[in-house]
Amino acid sequence: MNNLQACIFDMDGVLVSTEKYHFLAWKELAESLGFTIDEVFNEQLKGVSRAVCIDLILQHGGIDVSADEKQHLSDKKNTKYLKYISTISRNDVLPGVVSLLEELRKHGIKTAVGSASKNAPFLLEKLELTTFFDVLVDGTQISQPKPHPEVFLKGAEKMAVQPQNCIVFEDAQSGVQAAKSAGMYCVGIGNPAILSEADMCVNGVYEISYLDLAIL
């Protein structure tokens, strides 16, 4: 990559682990419709918008409903999810996140959150991370879900940084694909077999420092 100027972080699975709560809420919704989903299927739901998730789940269950009913089911799931995460606090920030954000700020590297979640502002506030980020691009600001690169390109644009000078941190396959389509370097958080398109993979943000990023 060229000169590092900015880092863009996905939310779920990178800054905080709320994936299990998404899974539980989607699983409850599926069961209320008469079928179930497992953790293997759940991989398809990571990193994509709520609208895409509901389409995938209904397709999985062989159910066809109206657009209004889809919205109702989507809202129902989100209510369950918000109930699950209502007690989240700074203690739930994943290891290494705060120290890396502090390092990046110290060295003048701009930071952004690029998330499909419409709950990103709420989560950042609960986690006491809002002040660590220069820019937030969430599901309310984009029209194309990951793997489309819109969320990351918009983040770079808002920071006035060229895509090739950005590093993205992602834990979902669709997010990695979005980062690469945006022309950005991507650090995958998680299983290298699933995130094979990432430029590098680590188990968590705690394995990365500013110096590691500066020499890429």
Report the C-alpha gap between 70 and 83 in whole angstroms: 20
pLDDT score, position 119: 87
Q: How many CB atoms lie within 10 A of CB 89?
A: 9
**H-helix or E-strand spanning residue 58:** helix 50-61
pLDDT score, position 117: 86
Q: Is 138 a catalytic residue?
A: no
Better pLDDT: 13 or 179: 179
What mean pLDDT comes out for the span 120-136? 95
pLDDT at residue 2 above 70?
no
| β-sheet with 200-202: strand ranges across | 135-137, 110-114, 6-9, 166-170, 185-189, 200-202
pLDDT score, position 94: 96
Q: Is 12 a catalytic residue?
A: yes
pLDDT digit string (tens) for 103-118? 999 999 999 999 988 8
Tokens 């920030």 belong to residue: 93
Catalytic hit among 10, 55, 64, 171: 10
Report the C-alpha gap between 204 and 214 in whole angstroms: 18
Note the pTM of the prediction, 2 decimals.
0.83
Domain 6-16+89-214 is of which CATH architecture? 3-Layer(aba) Sandwich (3.40)
In the predicted model, what is the mean pLDDT of the chain?
Answer: 94
Residue ranges matching CATH 3.40.50.1000 in the chain = 6-16+89-214
Report the C-alpha gap between 137 and 145 in whole angstroms: 12
In total, the chain counts a number of residues equal to 216
Residue ranges matching CATH 1.10.150.240 in the chain = 19-85
Question: Which tokens go with 162?
Answer: 């060229």
pLDDT at residue 27 above 80?
yes
pLDDT digit string (tens) for 65-82? 999 999 999 999 999 988
pLDDT at residue 1 above 70?
no
Buried b (16+ CB within 10 A) or exposed e, 128-155: ebeebbbbbbbbeebeebbbbbbbbbbb
Report the C-alpha gap between 76 and 59 in whole angstroms: 18
Domain 19-85 is of which CATH architecture? Orthogonal Bundle (1.10)
